Structure 1
Amino acid sequence: MANAQADVEPRHYTLWYRNYDNPATYALVELALQKTPEYGEFAIHRSQEITQGRALRELATNSRSLPLDIANVATTVERETALNTVPVPVDGGLLGLRVCLVLPENVDRFSEIDNIRDLRASDIRIGQGAHWPDSSILKANGVPVITHTRYEILFRMLRNHRFDCFARGVSEVLYDQRVQNAEDLVIEPHLLLAYPMPSYLFTSPEDHATAQRLQLGLERAIEDGSFGNYLRTWYSRPVAELQLNKRAIIRLSNPFLSEESRNIGRHVLKNLDRRIDLLTAPH
């Protein structure tokens, strides 16, 4: 029996390259898979470098023109309808909390902005990915947005003054600076954009087994406390370093959520201060 078990090939899961390259997201997928040993051994592979829009189309159509099994992105009604959704906010809801990556000479332009009216009245333009829900959210709130399909190109556009703020999630921005060699860019210290935008794991609509395994794994991790340990391990440093509790919070609405995700997102924002305290508490 032992030999037969040893001969079983591990299940190979291909994770979207942006998630694979992000150590926090990779660690969460690995945690969820480790918590479900009854599904068998596993191996996680990196996808080809494709845009977020292409990745989601590949999952939705299950075309298999290139291998892709799992992607972690912000949710929308459209995405939840087209894909299998694992409705657990992977970073505790931090993706909808955004700070500005800016050119050093532009930092002072943000110091007098304290609310959405100030932001709208300024001539500040925000850069975002063309396929990201953030772009539609910002536009719906009357904020000028400049987009591009490639995440990596947005850093170059910021340097070339195509826009003034590259709004990044508090769980992403320190990683961005390091991986994109963006030490010439700085994190603006005054503003925090906040909108309900849970970030979920998604699979192909036909791949129920993977979605079920991930959801079961995350539920077990929440129950046994390892999900809380994961959040503190990966996100306590950025929350503390970015000094979220000292920033002016600009709360924006997100009209593109399902009712379930709207309730989850509302809960995240309602408990914003408590979540910041939790992540910055000694452990």
Structure 2
Amino acid sequence: MTKQIKTTLLVLSMLCSTMAYALDTVYVPQPRSHLDIGHHYHVSLLEKALEHGANGRAVPRIVTSLHMAEARAFHELTKGEKIDVYWFGTDATKEQSLRAIKIPTSRGLIGYRTFIIHKDLAVQFEQVVNLAQLRNYTACQGAHWPDVQILKAAKLPVVANAMYENIFKRVHAKRCDYFPRPYHDGYNEVRVRNSQYPDLRHYQKIILHYPFAVYFFTPKHKPELAQWIEDGLEKMIDNGELISHMQNHLLTGHIFPLRVEPGTRYILIDNPILPADTDWKNTRYWFQPSEFGFDR
């Protein structure tokens, strides 16, 4: 058998293997709470990515399995038994332990942080213009979120809570001063909890930025699924469907067109847990500070 024939047969075998990969069901965790709009955003984005990357295959059904905190979701995804896909804020540990699809699910918006605060603190935050002054206030964050390490590395005081809903309770009770939220999250999170926590406010005149992204992750032993999702997301970028998804979803639609209020202060800090090869200045995948009107 000639070398050319062997090569042809190998290529055909690889193509057949890719086309033969089929999946009936993809399992993801349940929402963190009944108010978790971000869960719907990611499940619907995942569904579209699977449709766009199907390449003639039947699109699997997405099913929620169990309720689990992020630490457990990471553990279960590593095993790949109870869940097949989840979306995490990325860091080096996750990228080493899991298969990361390195396409930010919201173009890096998660790294542009506005604040949820108690209304009584609004006047004090008006005086904050730089990182040194922000260090006088204590942030609330999720106990297992990478943000805790990022904020502490910038010498920003942080208190952590394992339960997502309890963080809003802490801010409302003034047990911490601010809850840094992704640019698209704060508005909706305050709005849907208005009756429960009427004194919470979405404070937008400080943008705390650290390069950061949410990626879809799969177990390492399911590379075909990861490639399927990646192919679908790339096609969605090419045909404009990813940005359309953002513009039309309740989680992110209200931020368009991108803008900030006059007098908004921009504070940039490092993200020491972001893998060194992350190209966060790549405009194909990431929003840039200049798109918000900052001269950076």
Relative to the length of structure 1, the TM-score reads 0.84
Cα 1:239–1:132, aligned 2, differ >3 Å: closer, same or farther? farther
Q: Contact 1:53/1:131 (CA < 8 Å) preserved in 2?
A: yes
State which drifts further: 103-112 or 236-245.
236-245
State which drifts further: 30-39 or 265-274.
265-274
State which drifts further: 137-146 or 242-251.
242-251
Three-state SS of the structure 2 residue aligned to 1:200 is strand
Instruction: Output the aligned Cα RMSD.
Output: 2.4
Q: 1:247 corresponds to which residue?
A: 264
Q: 2:4 corresponds to which residue?
A: none
Which residue identity lines up with residue 194 of structure 1 in the other structure? H
Q: Contact 1:92/1:231 (CA < 8 Å) preserved in 2?
A: no
Bigger radius of gyration, 1 or 2?
2
Which residue identity lines up with residue 264 of structure 1 in the other structure? W
1:1-283 alignment to 2 at 5 Å?
A: 11-18=24-31, 21-22=37-38, 23-37=40-54, 38-62=56-80, 64=81, 67-120=82-135, 122=136, 124-181=137-194, 182-234=197-249, 235-238=252-255, 243=260, 246-261=263-278, 263-264=279-280, 271-274=288-291, 276=292
Which residue identity lines up with residue 238 of structure 2 in the other structure? E
Q: In 2, Cα distance between the equivalents of 1:228 and 1:269?
A: 11
Q: List alignment gaps of at least 5 residues for structure 2.
A: 1-21
Q: In 2, Cα distance between the equivalents of 1:117 and 1:97?
A: 18
Q: In 2, Cα distance between the equivalents of 1:11 and 1:171?
A: 33
Cα 1:76–1:223, aligned 2, differ >3 Å: closer, same or farther? same
The structure richer in helix per residue is 1
Cα 1:239–1:41, aligned 2, differ >3 Å: closer, same or farther? closer
Q: Deviations over 1:83-116 (max 9, x none)?
A: 0100001001100011110111111111111111
Per-residue deviation, 1:185 = 1.0
Q: In 1, Cα distance between the equivalents of 2:261 and 2:211?
A: 16
Q: Percent identity?
A: 25
Which residue identity lines up with residue 174 of structure 1 in the other structure? Y
Q: 1:280 corresponds to which residue?
A: none
Cα 1:239–1:184, aligned 2, differ >3 Å: closer, same or farther? farther
Q: In 2, Cα distance between the equivalents of 1:43 and 1:134?
A: 32
Q: Contact 2:109/2:287 (CA < 8 Å) preserved in 1?
A: no
Q: 2:6 corresponds to which residue?
A: none
Q: In 2, Cα distance between the equivalents of 1:244 and 1:85?
A: 35
Q: In 2, Cα distance between the equivalents of 1:115 and 1:180?
A: 30
Which residue identity lines up with residue 171 of structure 1 in the other structure? H
Q: Deviations over 1:152-200 (max 9, x none)?
A: 1111121222211011111222332244454531111321110001110
State which drifts further: 81-90 or 240-249.
240-249
Number of residue pairs matched? 262
Q: In 2, Cα distance between the equivalents of 1:54 and 1:186?
A: 31
Which residue identity lines up with residue 145 of structure 2 in the other structure? W
Three-state SS of the structure 2 residue aligned to 1:229 is helix
Q: Deviations over 1:201-249 (max 9, x none)?
A: 0111212122111101001111112112223323341355983675201
Q: In 2, Cα distance between the equivalents of 1:229 and 1:78?
A: 31
Q: List alignment gaps of at least 5 residues for structure 1.
A: 1-8, 278-283
Per-residue deviation, 1:53 = 0.9
Relative to the length of structure 2, the TM-score reads 0.81
Three-state SS of the structure 2 residue aligned to 1:39 is coil
Which residue identity lines up with residue 134 of structure 2 in the other structure? L
